[in-house]
Amino acid sequence: MGRLFGTDGVRGLANGNVTGELALDLGVAAARVLASGQEEGHRPRAVVGRDTRVSGEFLGAALNAGLASAGVDVKDVGVLPTPAVAYLTSTMDVDFGVVISASHNPMQDNGIKFLARGGVKLDDAVEDRIESLLGQEWERPTHGTVGRISSDSGRAGGAYVEHLMASIGADEDHKPLAGLRIAVDCANGAASDVGPVALRASGADVVVINASPDGRNINAACGSNHPEQLQAVVVASEADFGVAFDGDADRCIAVDHGGTVVDGDQIMGVLALALKDEGALPHDTLVVTVMSNLGLLLAMRDAGITTVQTAVGDRYVLEEMRAHGYGLGGEQSGHIVMSRYATTGDGVLTALQLASRVRVTGQKLADLAGVVQRLPQTLVNVPGVDKTRASTDEALLAAVAAAERTLGETGRVLLRPSGTEPLVRVMVEAATQQQADAVAAELAGVVRDRLAL
């Protein structure tokens, strides 16, 4: 049996492998680990939130029961974005936070993610400790030491919106986004309320789509993974630009006034330049993954900004940022972290910061994003190979080196072994799509020949 926790908590088919029984057991085990070591008389506290999936209702009930049975007082804040729960975990004097969500996954999936005090992701060792306690017998609290469960009246969401507004200097008297029309696709997810509210309260004229969650329509042909509706609405409503979140609103991608998608790499480029201009980009460094487009790396180099690359996954970006005090990082998917304001990716925060840059500069988003000229990219999956030899086979490495010499400064090659399958991904970026396709096809053939099982 493999490890229960993945790169972003426990995730899978709701009521398949992610059951009510598992949620209850995880609540008990997490309480024993995350609420341990406290002073005598301390009542452990946790904040719990979820996205709009129908399965979140029974999973939340089970999780809360497990936490309370282990002596934890639970504040259930209901439907709120993952970054909202992270923010609340850092400000409400709780021992830990929990999010019930499967992010951008389809409705039938769900997941459970724990946040340590301060709103940060758990280390692998802590997750392993929680997993090791699942199903164990222990001396449970009784009498008045069992936990209580209370529901939030909406104040938590209001506090989160105020925090978001403060990041761009907005309040009741100052509306820095006045004059902007912004189309917003909420993916029928966790930001369906707070996303439009934060933008409107900051002065924007907001056109909202996909903000009527029914428990089953989250991420359904909408949101950051499916921006087609937003592209059409931006053009039809003559909006200055649009933004799209995913189900738990830790991602944001944008659409310019002409309906062209502005991805996470381009958004990071815009925000990095904004922070550098303000003298607020720590170490003049941007943290990206190895899958970020070479066009972003070249644009940042030309702007005097260093890029640090990590493995794919927001947790690796976060680890690098925390280890070295960097202030901005993220992924091409739109999962962008601004550590001055958040401990995790925050789609609504990203939207506000992007809107503020558009307003302050007076430029169109298309012009701002144009600083990052995305190079054509081709990805080929090569199955049925010995992925363990991808980094050691001399003939393959020689072919990669020859390809990189041919591509020059405006191209690169990346071989990525799959984490779960006998498969190697060949990614090539080049000056033209034709060249990228040709080099990727050639190298895929070499991988197939050299690493065949």
What residues are annotated to the active site?
A: 103
**pLDDT band with cut points at 50, 70 and 90 for residue 42:** confident
Nearest Cα to Cα of residue 112 among 125, 137, 130, 92: 130
Tally of CA atoms within 13 A in the half-sphere of 120 that contains its CB: 14
DSSP secondary structure letter of residue 122: P
Question: pLDDT tier at 309 (50, 70, 90 boundaries)?
Answer: very high
pTM of the model: 0.93
pLDDT digits (tens, 9 = 90+) for 118-155: 999 999 999 999 999 998 999 999 999 999 999 997 89
Query: ∠ CA 345-220-110 to the nearest 5 degrees?
Result: 60
Instruction: Please measure the distance between the N-terminal and C-terminal CA atoms of the chain and give it in whole angstroms.
Output: 24
- pLDDT band at residue 186 using 50, 70 and 90 as cut-offs: very high
Q: How far is it, in rounded angstroms, from Cα 189 to Cα 222?
A: 10
| Residue 246 marked ligand-binding | yes
In this prediction, what percent of the chain has a pLDDT beyond 90? 92
Q: Write down the pLDDT at residue 318.
A: 93
Residue 12 CA to its chain's centroid (Å): 17
Q: How many residues does the chain have?
A: 453
What value does the mean pLDDT of the chain take? 95
pLDDT at 1 over 70: no
User: Residue 391, CB half-sphere, CA atoms under 13 Å: how many?
Assistant: 5
- The alpha helices in 155-307, defined as continuous H runs, are 155-166, 194-201, 228-237, 264-278, 294-302
Structural element, H or E, at residue 383: strand 377-383
Strand (E) or helix (H) holding 417: strand 412-417
Task: Give per-residue pLDDT as tens, 152-181.
Answer: 978 999 999 999 999 999 999 999 999 999
Greater pLDDT, 321 or 453: 321
DSSP helix/strand/coil, 284? helix
Nearest 5°: the CA angle 131, 133, 136 is 140
Tell me the torsion sign for CA atoms 97, 102, 103, 107. negative
> Is position 248 annotated in a ligand binding site?
yes
